Amino acid sequence: MTTAARASPGARRRAGAGAVSRAQHRARVPADAALILIGACFVLPLLWLVLASLDVSAGHEARLPARVSLDNFAAIMTPGLLFQPLWNSMLLSAGTAAVNLIAAVLAAYPLSRYQSRFNRPFMYTILFGTCLPITAIMVPVYGLFVQLDLLDSMAATIFFMATTTLPMAIWMTKNFMDAVPVSLEEAAWVDGASGLTALRTIVLPLMRQGLGVVFIFVFIQAWGNFFVPFVLLLSEARQPAAVSIFSFFGQHGAVAYGQLAAFSILYSVPVLALYVIVARGAGSSFALSGAVKG
Partner 1 sequence: MATTTPQRLRTVNRLHPHLRRQARLLPVLPAVLLLLVFLAGPVLWAFHASFTNAALTGRNARSPGWVGLENYQRLITDPVLPLSLVLTVVFVGGSAILGQNLLGLALALLMKRARRPVAAVVGTAVVAAWVLPEIVAAFAAYAYFSRDGTLNQILGGLGFGQPDWLYSFPMVAIMLANIWRGTAFSMLVYRAALDDVPGEVTEAALMDGASGWQRLAYVTIPMIRSSIATNLMLITLQTLAVFTLIWVMTAGGPANASTTLPVLAYQEAFKFGDIGYGTAVASVLILIGLVFGAAYVRLLRGSKG
Nearer to partner 1 by C-beta: 79 or 149?
Answer: 149
- Decide if residue 12 touches partner 1 (CB under 8 A): yes
Q: Which stretch binds partner 1 (CB under 8 A): 65-73, 77-85, 100-108, 210-218?
A: 100-108
User: 116-143 as b/e, with b when 16 or more CB fall inside 10 Å?
Assistant: eeeeeeebeebbeebeeeeeeebeebee
Nearer to partner 1 by C-beta: 77 or 151?
Answer: 151
The binding track of 143-182 with respect to partner 1, each residue x by CB under 8 A or -, is xx-x------------xx-xxx-xx--x-------x---x
Q: Which stretch binds partner 1 (CB under 8 A): 1-9, 79-87, 208-216, 222-230?
A: 222-230
Half-sphere exposure in the Cβ direction for 191 (13 Å, CA): 8
By CB under 8 A, the count of residues binding partner 1 is 111
Does residue 131 sit in helix, strand or coil?
coil
**Mutual angle of helices 84-113 and 119-130, in 10-degree steps:** 150
Q: Alpha-carbon Rg of the chain, whole angstroms? A: 26
Burial environment of residue 197 by CB neighbours within 10 A (0 to 12, 13 to 18, 19 or more): middle
CB atoms inside a 10 Å sphere around CB 62: 16
- Decide if residue 248 touches partner 1 (CB under 8 A): no
- Decide if residue 277 touches partner 1 (CB under 8 A): no
Contacts of partner 1 in 115-134 (CB under 8 A): 115-116, 118, 122, 124, 126-134
Q: Which stretch binds partner 1 (CB under 8 A): 71-79, 80-88, 142-150, 206-214?
A: 142-150
CB atoms inside a 10 Å sphere around CB 205: 10
Minimum Å gap between C-beta 25 and partner 1 is 10
Minimum Å gap between C-beta 209 and partner 1 is 20
